[in-house]
Structure 1
Amino acid sequence: MDVYANLKQGERGVWISIIAYIFCSIVKVAIAWYAGSEALLADGLNNTTDVVASIAVLIGLRIARKPPDKDHPYGHFRAETISALVASFIMFAVGVEVLLRAVPSLFSPESTAPDIVAGWVALGSAALMLLVYRYNIRLAKSVNSQALEAAAMDNRSDAWVSIGTFAGIAGAQFQLHWLDPLAALVVGLIIVKTAWDIFREATHRLTDGFDFDELENLKGTISKIPGVSEIKDIKARYLGSSIIVDATIHVDPELNVLESHVITEQIEQRMSEEHRIKTVHIHIEPDERLAR
């Protein structure tokens, strides 16, 4: 399955997330106002940001599927990363809003326990999001979609947020009224932290950042190919969910063009099989140490 087919498959998982988030956000916000729960309201607003963020990811995946053109010879794959960056801004703004609402409630002497129905709604939402997580994480691994895998991780974190919301509301039933706004405060911090993690990863990729240990792992794979005497240079960068590798290798100067080309094909095959990397650019130079 090529990268374009993977992007299309990834859209299916994003749509499932969007539908689940819309349902959860509507139910949570409505019940939160009825039950007087700051924690459930914060959880519902969190799901609202997830809807917007998922839509941004969906738009990014759609744009990323566009084929290369005159102005984009490498394709539009980075639209996926840019959409994640936009989503992080939205999530951060809502996270701050949740914190601004939670802090005054936490120190309010008139805090009252919310209706327990809010807790059951939060627990039901957690169960639903865990099911969505299991579906999306399996799909992400089968189509090798990092964007969908990130969405799945967000599904799982939302489930844990809802479990924390349930705990706060349940605790408030035992006259621990401060637990509900405290849970809202924790939810706000989780939203801000998630937004920061997405922002950091997106900017790292957009500036051609790449994990050093992973690069060493790729280097080790190439060095094991017969005929590669030395790796002079190797670089890697992300193009959306895909990885592009550029490497300069030394080979025996006595090899002819065909023999050298066979080595590059072996490298490309190994990188595809072991790392699922489809784009590898190899530059060959003679190893003067092997000159006869």
Structure 2
Amino acid sequence: MATDGDGTGRRGFVRASWVNVLGNAVKIVVEGAAGVVFGSVALLADAAHSIADLIASLVVLVWGRSSYAEPDDTHPHGHARIEPLTALFVGSVIALLGLNLLYESAQGILYGVEVEFSPLLFGALAFSIVDMYLVYRYTTLINEALGSTALEALAVDCLNDIYTSVAAAVGILGVLLGWPLLDPIAGGFVSLLVVYQGVEIGRENVGYLIGAAASPEKRTEIVEALRDHPDVEGVHDLTVFYDGTVLEVEVHVEVDGDMPFRQAHDIESELVDRLRDLEEVGDAHVHLDPSGIGEWKESVDD
């Protein structure tokens, strides 16, 4: 997640969350009304799907913005892990909704569906697709600067809403053409996609929550950033792990053991700043060792 600084990040997060809440609320009203009037199970199911999306959006709004809170006595390292926890909740909701849609699709294939066709059904679905696309575009636009996994999960959910609405439209077209079985078949394909995306969101954010290690490429980038400093003679005992959605770096760096203490302090500060400037790195802890004494646990540059 991007640092908040003057609170701009938190305000953007809250605005995007509110847009998702309102977008889902409007979609529920439009599709639910059309589904009730014309007996469309597809639209009612899509509206019910959006009720869970609305709940997820409210959770992100109320809970996720806490990740921007400053460190305090009870959370000295800040609240960064609240965001992946929120995203994990959204991913779980998406996966469960996908499984429910898959069940409903199987029921429709086995027992058939009954829908009274009306052009207004297409109108309601077209409105829902445009509504969710606009919410998706706004959410991704805001999130370009924030890098929020919670907002990313909401954006994925917006795309899922578009897919389910398209599937419902295919089903209604099938009713118009005399092939009502198209509705549950299309819904089945979409539900599998929804389950997959929900699982992927959950898998990514579990890694953030349990402090997963950085990739080998990121470790190499960190070592190179350290060794590029002219006073660094070696790097060892490097640990890079996720603290929430950002990386924390702990490393020992070898320098000339005879340099003045003040100079060593300045070098340490420069190295910490170098690491913090790297993408994804949130904080860094650098310990300076005199070169050549061989006390480290790991080999040089490991």
What residue is the counterpart of 2:31 in the other structure? 28
Cα deviation, 1:140-174, whole Å, max 9, x if unaligned, reads 12234333233233323433433343334334422
Q: Which runs of 5+ in 2 are unaligned?
A: 295-302
What residue is the counterpart of 2:287 in the other structure? 283
TM-score normalized with structure 2 length: 0.82
What residue is the counterpart of 2:261 in the other structure? 257
CA distance in 2, matches of 1:88, 1:145: 14
> In the alignment, is the contact (CA less than 8 A) between 2:214 and 2:247 conserved in 1?
no
Aligned-pair CA distance for 1:105? 0.9
Aligned-pair CA distance for 1:17? 0.8
Q: Secondary structure at the match of 1:173?
A: helix
Q: Is 1:229 matched with 2:230?
A: no
Give the residue type in structure 2 aligned to 1:153.
V
Aligned-pair CA distance for 1:56? 1.7
Q: Which runs of 5+ in 1 are unaligned?
A: none
Q: Is 1:220 matched with 2:221?
A: no
Give the residue type in structure 1 aligned to 2:197.
T
What residue is the counterpart of 2:189 in the other structure? 186
What residue is the counterpart of 1:45 in the other structure? 48
CA distance 1:234–1:120, shift in 2 (3 Å) = farther
Aligned-pair CA distance for 1:21? 1.0
What residue is the counterpart of 2:300 in the other structure? none
CA distance 1:2–1:179, shift in 2 (3 Å) = same
CA distance in 2, matches of 1:218, 1:36: 59
> In the alignment, is the contact (CA less than 8 A) between 2:13 and 2:65 conserved in 1?
no
What residue is the counterpart of 2:246 in the other structure? 242
Which of 126, 145, 157 matches 1:142?
A: 145
Please, what is the CA RMSD of the aligned residues? 2.8
Which of 115, 125, 139 matches 1:122?
A: 125
> In the alignment, is the contact (CA less than 8 A) between 2:67 and 2:82 conserved in 1?
yes
Cα deviation, 1:59-110, whole Å, max 9, x if unaligned, reads 2223323433333221222222222233333333333332222211122356
Which of 44-53 and 228-237 deviates more?
Answer: 228-237
> In the alignment, is the contact (CA less than 8 A) between 1:95 and 1:189 conserved in 2?
yes
Q: Secondary structure at the match of 1:282?
A: strand
Which of 133, 138, 161 matches 1:158?
A: 161
CA distance in 2, matches of 1:199, 1:23: 27
> In the alignment, is the contact (CA less than 8 A) between 1:106 and 1:181 conserved in 2?
yes
CA distance 1:252–1:238, shift in 2 (3 Å) = same
Q: Secondary structure at the match of 2:111?
A: coil
Cα deviation, 1:100-138, whole Å, max 9, x if unaligned, reads 222111223565574443233223222222222222222
Aligned-pair CA distance for 1:51? 1.2
Give the residue type in structure 2 aligned to 1:96.
L
Give the residue type in structure 1 aligned to 2:4.
V
Give the residue type in structure 1 aligned to 2:290.
P
Aligned-pair CA distance for 1:20? 0.3
Runs of 4+ in structure 1 over 6 Å off: none
CA distance 1:46–1:123, shift in 2 (3 Å) = same
What residue is the counterpart of 2:298 in the other structure? none
Which of 5-14 and 260-269 deviates more?
Answer: 260-269
CA distance 1:157–1:282, shift in 2 (3 Å) = farther
> In the alignment, is the contact (CA less than 8 A) between 2:242 and 2:248 conserved in 1?
yes
TM-score normalized with structure 1 length: 0.84
Q: Secondary structure at the match of 2:80?
A: coil
> In the alignment, is the contact (CA less than 8 A) between 1:43 and 1:161 conserved in 2?
yes
CA distance 1:83–1:271, shift in 2 (3 Å) = same
Question: How many residues get paired?
Answer: 290
CA distance 1:227–1:39, shift in 2 (3 Å) = farther
